[in-house]
């Protein structure tokens, strides 16, 4: 959550956030008022109509048509009002304007992948222009994930084998946290990224800069962001082994044999991670990275080879 805003709601940073908050506060305060009124009435009646001696018998209760209709009609109207209000916001939140800028979002164990129409792909940061509707077309390569940006009040599941979508318009520049809010395995809680909201001009120059062809090692370094949750490059052990300084060494495997770490072994470990598992580790690496292009795979191999 942000450092500002309140416990439930961080600062509102999208065009819909204010509407979502208004509805939230309406439900919150009507519930609070009703709760206090009901409890207060109950306490008052408990004392007011307390049985005072052994022989006392209460008067028979006579129904009040007015009172009974009131407690049927008033809550029904209140609930309908909340439903109509919520449904109206929901419909508009789910209908992206036709001129929205589209970004393809893929969720996989355990990284986010953001692909832009200009052919640019990022992993830990999703750049968007401020003041322009952005539509995310999302799918998952493996299990259920859920895309959540609290500051935008945007949350949507990513489901394998189908597309889901969500849209928003950021109202201010800045960086906002993206969470995965659907339990998706070992590194679910670390499946994080940031939305970086920049001005229209900054966005245009960023896209141009990114779409330039990168040398293989730099391309690999960029792609490695999605591996970094599980693989360190400074010698520390995370969920998977550290990958620096391994090139050209002999790697012990769980089956007791050893293998030379060369380009072929690195590539095989990306495409079919379960075939040769490093000693001391579980065979939990997802096979979802095999969808990369040959150029991307070459870049990743070159980058891992370059790590000292
Ligand atoms: Cu992806 Cu939780």
CB of 288 within 6 A of ligand 1: the answer is no
Q: What is the mean pLDDT of residues 172-185?
A: 93
User: Which helix H or strand E contains 31, and what residues bound it?
Assistant: helix 17-48
Ligand 1 midpoint to CA 76 (Å): 38
Q: What is the pLDDT of residues 200-254, one digit of tens each?
A: 999 988 888 877 777 888 888 888 888 888 899 998 888 889 999 888 888 899 8
Q: Which atom of ligand 1 is nearest to the CA of 188?
A: 2
Give the span between the Cα atoms of 189 and 229, in whole angstroms. Answer: 10
Give the span between the Cα atoms of 118 and 165, in whole angstroms. Answer: 19
pLDDT at residue number 264: 87
Tell whether the model's pLDDT for residue 1 goes beyond 60.
no
pLDDT at residue number 107: 92
**String of b and e for 232-270 (b: at least 16 CB within 10 Å)?**
bbeeeeebbbebeebbeeebeeeeeeebebeeebbbebb
Q: Which atom of ligand 1 is nearest to the CA of 180?
A: 2
Q: Give the C-alpha distances (Å, rounded to integers) separating 27 from 5, 113, 146, 150, 250.
A: 18, 36, 25, 19, 62
CB of 113 within 6 A of ligand 1: the answer is no
Ligand 1 midpoint to CA 36 (Å): 39
Least confident of 5-14, 75-84, 114-123, 276-285: 5-14
Q: What is the pLDDT of residues 103-116, one digit of tens each?
A: 999 999 888 999 99
SS (H, E, C) 246-261: CCCCEEEECCCCEEEC
CB of 145 within 6 A of ligand 1: the answer is yes
Give the span between the Cα atoms of 166 and 178, in whole angstroms. Answer: 14
Q: Which atom of ligand 1 is nearest to the CA of 109?
A: 1
Tell whether the model's pLDDT for residue 53 goes beyond 90.
no
pLDDT at residue number 78: 93
Ligand 1 midpoint to CA 285 (Å): 14
Q: Is residue 298 within 8 Å of residue 264, measured between CB atoms?
A: no
Write down the mean pLDDT value for the chain.
89
pLDDT at residue number 202: 92
CB of 93 within 6 A of ligand 1: the answer is no
Length of the chain in terms of residues written: 308
pLDDT at residue number 182: 94
pLDDT at residue number 37: 94
Q: Is residue 110 within 8 Å of residue 187, measured between CB atoms?
A: yes
Tell whether the model's pLDDT for residue 2 goes beyond 50.
no
CB of 188 within 6 A of ligand 1: the answer is yes
Domain 101-211 shares a fold with domain 216-306: no
Q: What is the pLDDT of residues 125-159, one digit of tens each?
A: 899 999 999 999 999 988 999 999 999 999 999 99
CATH 2.60.40.420 for domain 101-211: yes
Tell whether the model's pLDDT for residue 55 goes beyond 70.
yes
Tell whether the model's pLDDT for residue 79 goes beyond 90.
yes
Here the tokens at position 149 are: 């940006």
- Assign domain 216-306 to its CATH architecture: Orthogonal Bundle (1.10)
Ligand 1 midpoint to CA 185 (Å): 7
Rg (the chain; Cα; Å): 28
Where does the pLDDT of residue 74 fall: very low under 50, low under 70, confident under 90, or very high at 90 and above? very high
State the virtual CA torsion across 174, 193, 188, 301 in degrees, nearest 10: -170
Ligand 1 midpoint to CA 44 (Å): 49
Give the span between the Cα atoms of 210 and 260, in whole angstroms. Answer: 35
Q: Is residue 13 within 8 Å of residue 172, measured between CB atoms?
A: yes
Can you give the residue ranges of every domain in the chain? 101-211, 216-306
What pTM does this model have?
0.71
CB of 107 within 6 A of ligand 1: the answer is yes
Q: Which atom of ligand 1 is nearest to the CA of 145?
A: 1
Where does the pLDDT of residue 121 fall: very low under 50, low under 70, confident under 90, or very high at 90 and above? confident
CB of 108 within 6 A of ligand 1: the answer is no
**Neighbour-count burial of 193, counting CB atoms closer than 10 A to its CB (0-12 exposed, 13-18 middle, 19+ buried):** buried
Where does the pLDDT of residue 289 fall: very low under 50, low under 70, confident under 90, or very high at 90 and above? confident
Q: Is residue 232 within 8 Å of residue 238, measured between CB atoms?
A: yes
More confident residue, 286 or 79: 79
pLDDT at residue number 174: 93
Where does the pLDDT of residue 175 fall: very low under 50, low under 70, confident under 90, or very high at 90 and above? very high
Where does the pLDDT of residue 4 fall: very low under 50, low under 70, confident under 90, or very high at 90 and above? low
Tell me which long-range contacts 293-297 makes (C-beta under 8 A, separation of at least 24).
Answer: 295/219, 296/219, 296/223, 297/267, 297/270, 297/271
Ligand 1 midpoint to CA 141 (Å): 12
Q: Which atom of ligand 1 is nearest to the CA of 182?
A: 2
Tell whether the model's pLDDT for residue 3 goes beyond 60.
no
Determine the Cα angle at 28 with ends 22 and 32, to 5°: 145
The residue with tokens 């940061």 is: 125
Q: Which atom of ligand 1 is nearest to the CA of 185?
A: 2
Q: What is the pLDDT of residues 27-43, one digit of tens each?
A: 999 999 999 999 999 99
Q: Which residues contact 182 (CB under 8 A, 6 or more apart)?
A: 144, 145, 146, 157, 158, 188
Q: What is the mean pLDDT of residues 185-199?
A: 91
Give the span between the Cα atoms of 122 and 128, in whole angstroms. Answer: 12
């Amino acid at each position: 959550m942000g450092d500002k805003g309140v416990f439930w709601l961080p600062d509102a940073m999208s065009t819909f956030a204010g509407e979502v908050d208004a509805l939230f506060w309406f439900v919150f305060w009507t519930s609070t008022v009703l709760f206090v009124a009901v409890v207060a009435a109950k306490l008052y009646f408990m004392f007011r109509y307390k049985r005072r001696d052994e022989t006392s018998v209460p008067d028979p209760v006579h129904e009040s048509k007015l009172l009974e209709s009131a407690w049927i009609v008033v809550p029904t109207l209140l609930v309908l009002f909340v439903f109509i209000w919520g449904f109206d916001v929901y419909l508009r939140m789910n209908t992206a304007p036709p001129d929205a800028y589209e970004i393809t979002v893929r969720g996989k164990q355990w990284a986010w992948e953001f692909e832009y129409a200009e052919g640019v792909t990022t992993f830990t940061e999703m750049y968007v222009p401020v003041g322009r509707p952005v539509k995310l077309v999302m799918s998952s390569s493996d299990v259920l994930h859920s895309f959540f940006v609290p500051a935008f009040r945007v949350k949507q599941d990513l489901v394998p084998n189908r597309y889901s979508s969500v849209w928003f318009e950021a109202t201010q520049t800045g960086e906002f946290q993206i969470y995965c809010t659907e339990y998706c395995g070992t590194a679910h809680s670390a499946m994080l990224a940031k939305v970086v909201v920049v001005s229209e001009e900054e966005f245009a120059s960023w896209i141009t800069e990114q779409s330039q062809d990168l040398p293989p090692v730099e391309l690999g370094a960029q792609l490695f962001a999605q591996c970094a949750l599980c693989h360190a490059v400074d010698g520390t052990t995370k969920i998977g082994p550290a990958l620096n300084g391994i090139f050209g060494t002999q790697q012990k495997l769980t089956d007791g044999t050893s293998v030379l770490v060369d380009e072929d072994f690195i590539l095989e470990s990306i495409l079919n991670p379960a075939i040769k598992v490093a000693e001391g580790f579980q065979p939990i690496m997802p096979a979802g990275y095999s969808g990369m292009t040959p150029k991307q795979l070459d870049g990743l191999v070159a980058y891992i080879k370059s790590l000292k």
